[in-house]
Structure 1
Amino acid sequence: MALITSLIKRFLIWRVRKIDDKKFMMFLSVIIGVIVGFSAVIIKNSVHFIQKMLTSDFGQQYHNYMYFAYPAIGILLVFIFTKYMIKKPVGHGIPTTLYAISKNNGKIKPHNMFSSIITSALTVGFGGSVGLEGPTVATGAAWGSNIGRFFHLSYRQVLLLLACAGAGAMSAIFKAPIAAIVFILEVIMLDLTISSLLPLLFASVTAAITSYLFLGMNVLYPIEITERFNINFIPYYILLGILTGLVSAYFTKMYKFIQEWFDKQSNSLYKWILGASILGLLIFFFPSLYGEGYDAINGCLHGTSDHLFNNSIFYDLQNNMFWVFVIFLLVIIFKAIATSVTFGAGGVGGIFAPTLFIGANTGLLFARVFSYFGLKELPFSNFALVGMVGLIAGVLHAPLTAIFLIAEITGGYSLIIPLMIGASISFATARLFDKYSVYTYQLARRGELFTHDKDKVVLSILKVTKLIETDFLTICPEATLGDLVKVIAKSKRNIFPVIDDENMLLGIVFINDIREIMFNREMYDSVHVNELMYMPTPIVSPEESMEDVAKKFKMSSNYNLPVLDNGKYIGFVSRANVFSAYRNLLKKFSED
């Protein structure tokens, strides 16, 4: 073991001496791209293998009952794996990555390098109504984080590796290298320099090539655009954009409501039983909710509604247009619930696939209603595409990612104008109801959201505990003025905390307040510290965010603020020290 440690140290020293940081980051970005590409291949093939093994020999008489049971089994296996094998929570893909960037200096636990693959494959393979992109991003980010820590890279370099991993994951899982880079800039929201784009490009391209080698060169959703952009359809694209924005708001509200309800439940077994039962019941009646739903999406893109009735107890109703529309609507409504309870019950997955599913069904339903009632003959495939872009833009608050992703995964660049209309209108509509996306609302609620605002980024990284100054001499309240003068003579500070025997802060004495009496010896024994002290405001707690501390400095005009932990004195934070730390970190963060 000592030999291995010695070799690693020698290699790290050699690397620093022989390879400059920019070249090394490009090399690592390629390595990350390959690793993430393989992760995507493993996740995809694992899910395909599990689903084929479970559903290929369904007997007609009991297949719906198996749909009810399988998701519960899959989520139970996830529960057993996380509780008894890795003994740590896996987390939900992209929110986990955002939290690592925002509050954990880019650190992600090593088990996430493999645990997200296993848990998501079990969840989706057994029918959990979620996607695979989130766990793939989490897996790649974990590799990026731990590789960065292994090579003792700087905070900014670790963030860049996380960005490369995220771009590679999206590129590999969707075969969409351009959308992957847009996703990093828009959703992960890293404030990257121009030179940082080169490693992103390397990672994205490498991951896409790896995916092509093992999953084929075809786009994810092959579709032939038979009807090009028609300017006469613009009003209908606008209407669909508004509709998808409203559906996005419904999805987000439902997701938040169900997640918050499950978070309040402390019994994991109860959450599994309830969540798995609801999910199983929904899939029993609507089998199209099983798993990612990519076959259903492909059906929508080809203008068919067969996916609504395949293996369904409603099969005999497929020629009745009234019931077709009703089941379309129910599937859209219940998909949001199925996705949310999959997470609530303990499943692991992503949000992209459910939004694509709901968007495709919403767009197709919109076009079919207009066509059926003779209002306007609309191209089904085109409106299904615009529905997909609208849901991604509205739910994820990522209109640019939506446009490029849908164009890349379908080869639908000829419809770029309708895609832009749908994305922008849906995003604007959804923002009226929710300021934050499903990825960011929990972080935003706790004030932990990483943003493009570099000031907030730097302040979020600074910790109060790292900036506490403890060289202030203390004094007890019963001490006399003469005792205080002796303490002043030994101190380099002009503030003197007054504490009791239990280290509780009772007040402070500011030297400027006693200048007129501190040299009057006649008062040394008659005046006591408790007559001179006052309780300072505001105060700071060790766990407080630096952004709040900066606001307190601004509001109070104080140069030093006391830090108390449940009333007990710890030290002070100074305006000068905070500003100096801020400037140093900002310089480090901005280095190219």
Structure 2
Amino acid sequence: MSKTALIRKNYKLIKFQKLSIVSALIGFLCAFMSVSLKRLTEHYEEILFHKASLNWVFFLIFPLVGLSVIYFLRSYLFKKKENKGIKEIFEARDSKAKKLPVYKIPSHFFNGLLTVAFGGSTGIEVSTVVASAAIGSVAQQKENLFKRHKTELICAGIAAGITALFSSPVAGILFSFEVISRKVTKTFALTTVLAVAVAYSFILVLDEQPLFQVSVSNWHLYALPYFLLLGVLAGVNSVYLTKAVIYIKKKFAAIEKHSVKIITGSVIISTSLLVLPQLYGEGYHAVKTIFTNPDSIVLTTSFTITMLGILFLKPIITSVTLASGGDGGVFAPSMFIGAFLGLLTALVLNTFFEANVIPLNFMIIGMAAMLSASIHAPFTALFLICGLVNDYTLFFPILVVCLVSKTTAKLIYPYTVYTFQPNTVK
């Protein structure tokens, strides 16, 4: 072997070893951060929502407090820079000079926690994704050997964060591929798989439980046309969510004074919470309540009005939360809307068409369909929802419906809230 070939071989070996070590470290740090954020958010959201349920005045106070504290943190601690969510990751991916600075980790961690705990109608998923991406980006900046692998290490962080948050390693890898990288290289496979393996091992040690404790018995082939209908409805609703976020963010961006943004946003959020407390925070508490026994729910007039109110108001209040300074994205809102859309669809089919479908199945499939259509990532949605309920009985219908919902959404509107740019639409 020539000297040049030997040097090249040693260089590849050293790079492989260093990438392996840093990927494992990224996996551990992202998993630790993700689990910490999830548990803290669940803890304080439960406490504050309980307080507000006992005294409606807190529904008026909490959103104002949360948005105000976030504003002061951004102004005096985080360099007066707005959080752009996943778009920040795209900017870092597409530019050699653009980095995700280290302050993005605590910024998204605390802002995401404060937004959801104090009633902002979004979720911590995007906060987790951006903070995890920042961990990967910072690791890449520490070693010249990693200069060419910024995207791979960012994706490793994201995959680990998603894995820890949803207890689904496949969803973590697929999200990094479908939404962020969009290509697979040897380095991507190495770094992502190692980071995810460490992250998943970490949550196994902690004995993290699935978010939703449900028992899916079976599904029937005759329900497949109804599932396809749900996929189309989810695609249409996802476009409503996407356009609501884009439109309301644009309107709030025209408001120059931050105090006016915060007050306006707080008033809208508080009013909505007084009407429909189910919209508080991530909304998972409301989904868990209905998951306990959806078969016993009867389609009454008041229940129908409540469901329609949730489907109409959730995209608006989510958009207002984000536009007025809250930190988050459309992951949790999409799954929340999908669950109630699926339930309402099943009840309508059973009540008026004697379809004899299973409401629980429609709720689970609806969650996946809405998420798939909202982020244009059907395979991520498939494994993520199966991981959330820790059950793969509905694997095939979820796969089919996710593809239908994404296709429907793209035919109506080709952008998501993450891919839309103001200059892309004339």
Of Structure 1 and Structure 2, the greater helix share is in: 2
Matched, 1:210 2:189: no
1:233 and 2:223 aligned:
yes
Paired amino acid for 1:278: I
Q: Which has the larger displacement, 433-442 or 153-162?
A: 153-162
1:80 and 2:72 equivalent?
Answer: yes
Q: Distance in 2 between matches of 1:76 and 1:119?
A: 11
**Contact persistence 1:360–1:387 (CA under 8 A):** yes
| Residue 340 (str. 1) matches residue 354 (str. 2) | no
Residue 165 (structure 2) pairs with residue 166 (structure 1): no
Give 1:377 deviation, angstroms. 1.2
Structure 1-normalised TM-score? 0.67
> Partner of 2:210 in structure 1?
219
Query: Given the superposition, is the C-alpha separation of residues 91 and 26 from structure 1 closer, same or farther in structure 2, using an over 3 Å criterion?
Result: same
The partner residue of 1:31 within 25, 31, 45 is 25
Determine the C-alpha separation between the residues in 2 that align with 1:355 and 1:444: 25
Matches of 1:394 and 1:439, distance apart in 2: 12
1:297-346 CA-to-partner distances (Å, cap 9, x unmatched) read: 2234445399xxxxxxxxxxx97711101110111111101110001110
Instruction: Note closer, same or farther for the CA distance 1:35–1:59 as it changes in structure 2 (3 Å cut).
Output: closer
Q: 1:20 aligns with which of 14, 17, 22?
A: 14
Which structure is richer in relative contact order (CA contacts within 8 A, separation 6 or more)? 2
- Quote the residue 2:5 is aligned against: none
- Residues 295 and 359 in structure 2, CA contact (< 8 A), matched pair in contact too: no
1:167-203 superposed Cα distances (whole Å, 9 cap, x missing partner) = 0111111111111101111011342314531221111
1:277 aligns with 2:262: no
Q: Structure 2 unaligned segments of length 5 or more: list them.
A: 1-9
Who is 1:129 aligned against?
121
- Post-superposition Cα deviations, 1:29-49, rounded to whole Å, max 9, x if no partner, equal 110011001111221122133
Q: Does 1:116 align with 2:108?
A: yes
**Between Structure 1 and Structure 2, how many residues are aligned?**
417
Maintained 8 Å contact 1:97/1:141? yes
Q: Report matched runs for 1:331-410 at 5 Å.
A: 331-410=310-389
Q: Which residue of 2 is the match for residue 471 of structure 1?
A: none
Aligned equivalent of 2:6: none
In structure 2, C-alpha distance between the alignment counterparts of 1:42 and 1:398, rounded to whole Å: 26
**Cα deviations across residues 4-24 of structure 1 (Å, max 9, x unaligned)?**
xxxxxxxxxxxx989611121
- 1:160·1:196 contact (CA, 8 Å) conserved in 2? yes
Q: Distance in 1 between matches of 2:290 and 2:145?
A: 46
What is residue 262 of structure 1 aligned with on the other side? Answer: 252
Please state whether the residue corresponding to 2:144 is helix, strand or coil: coil
Large movers: runs of 4+ above 6 Å = 16-19
Partners of 2:12 and 2:146 in 1: CA distance: 18
Q: State whether residues 152 and 187 of structure 2, in contact with CA within 8 Å, keep that contact through their aligned partners in structure 1.
A: no
Match of 1:526 in 2: none
From the CA coordinates, give the structure whose radius of gyration is larger. Answer: 1
Residue 55 of structure 2 is aligned to residue 41 of structure 1? no
Output the TM-score relative to the length of structure 2.
0.92
Question: Cα 1:260–1:103, aligned 2, differ >3 Å: closer, same or farther?
Answer: farther
**Structure 1 residue matching 2:216: 3-state secondary structure:** coil
Match of 2:4 in 1: none
Tell me, yes or no, if the aligned pair for 1:124 and 1:130 is still in contact at 8 Å. Answer: yes
Letter of the 2:178 partner, please give it: E
**Aligned-pair CA distance for 1:374:** 4.5
CA 1:195–1:54 in 2, change beyond 3 Å: closer, same or farther?
closer
Q: Kindly tell me: are residues 261 and 185 of structure 1, through their superposed partners in 2, closer, same or farther at Cα, counting changes over 3 Å?
A: same
Provide the rounded CA distance (Å) in 1 between the counterparts of 2:332 and 2:366.
13
Counterparts of 1:201 and 1:258, CA distance in 2:
38
Amino acid at match of 2:107: S
Cα distance per residue 1:413-458 (max 9 Å; x no partner): 1211210121111111111121121111128739xxxxxxxxxxxx
1:110 aligned counterpart, secondary structure: coil
Please name the residue that 2:56 is paired with.
64
1:123·1:347 contact (CA, 8 Å) conserved in 2?
A: yes
TM-aligned CA deviation for residue 52 of structure 1: 4.0
In 2, the alpha carbon distance for the partners of 1:258 and 1:58 equals: 26
The partner residue of 1:184 within 176, 186, 206 is 176
Give distance in 1, aligned partners of 2:44 and 2:225: 44
Distance 2:98 2:16 in 1: 19
Instruction: Pick from 37, 44, 49 the counterpart of residue 50 of structure 1.
Output: 44
Relative distance call for 1:238 and 1:217 in structure 2 (3 A) is same
| Deviation (angstroms), 1:144 | 1.2
Q: Tell me: CA distance 1:106–1:408, structure 2 relative to 1, closer, same or farther (3 Å).
A: farther
Give the secondary-structure state (helix, strand or coil) at the position aligned to 2:412.
coil
Give the letter for the 2:314 counterpart.
Answer: K
Q: Alpha carbons of 1:195 and 1:86: their partners in 2 closer, same or farther (altered >3 Å)?
A: closer
Deviation at 1:163, TM superposition (A): 0.6
Is the alpha carbon distance of 1:342 and 1:379 closer, same or farther for their aligned partners in structure 2, counting shifts above 3 Å? same
Aligned to 2:410: 431
Classify the secondary structure of the residue corresponding to 2:213. Answer: coil
* Higher strand fraction (1 or 2): 1
Cα shift readout 1:120-145 (whole Å, capped 9, x = no counterpart): 11111111111111111111111111
CA, structure 1 residues 337+99, in 2 after alignment: closer, same or farther (shift >3 Å)?
same
Note the C-alpha offset of 1:59: 6.9
> Residues 34 and 165 of structure 2 are in contact (CA less than 8 Å); yes or no, is this contact kept in structure 1?
yes
Q: Is the 8 A contact 2:386 2:395 kept in 1?
A: yes
